[in-house]
């Protein structure tokens, strides 16, 4: 069974964000909280409160695995959302050496 994380877009600037360990929205997937199925449902309900407060939009869960101690998306679409374009490693979050190490 895959772990889940919660992602959205921050309404203020459109940045991709993930629900963090403290219930905050973080910009790096390696800081995202992970959940089992039941925990993901509860976290999603919390995230929807932030959507109602116009902090984030387009909230959904995604499947992740833990690689080198950090969440890593299972689907290519989510890896691109986490790091940036797949054809340009010199732009996006993947251009940051710390982000590359988490990928």
Residue 66 forms part of a structural domain: yes
Give which of 66, 59, 62, 87 is closest to 75, Cα–Cα: 62
Number of folded domains that form the chain: 1
- Mean pLDDT of each 10-residue bin along the chain, 103 residues long: 93 95 95 96 96 97 95 93 75 62 46
Residue 85 within any structural domain of the chain:
no
Residue 94 lies in a domain: no
Cβ contacts of residue 49 below 8 Å, gap of 6+? none
* Predicted pLDDT of residue 102: 45
* Distance (Å, whole) CA 72 – CA 66: 6
Domain interval for residue 35: 3-73
Asked if the structure places residue 78 within a domain, the reply is: no
**What is the model's pLDDT at position 100?**
46
The answer to whether residue 95 sits within a structural domain is no
In a domain, 101, yes or no: no
Alpha-carbon distance 82 to 94, whole Å?
Answer: 8
**Tally of CB atoms within 10 A around 71:** 24
In a domain, 24, yes or no: yes
In a domain, 53, yes or no: yes
């Amino acid at each position: 069974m895959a772990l889940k994380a919660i992602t959205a877009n921050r309404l203020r600037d459109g940045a991709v964000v993930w629900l963090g360990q403290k219930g905050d929205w973080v910009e790096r997937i390696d800081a995202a909280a992970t959940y089992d199925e039941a925990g993901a449902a509860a976290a999603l309900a919390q995230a929807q409160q932030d959507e109602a407060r116009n902090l984030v939009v387009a909230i959904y869960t995604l499947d992740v695995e833990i690689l080198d101690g950090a969440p890593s998306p299972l689907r290519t679409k989510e890896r691109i959302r986490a790091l940036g374009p797949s054809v340009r490693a010199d732009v996006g979050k993947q251009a940051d050496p710390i982000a590359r190490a988490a990928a």
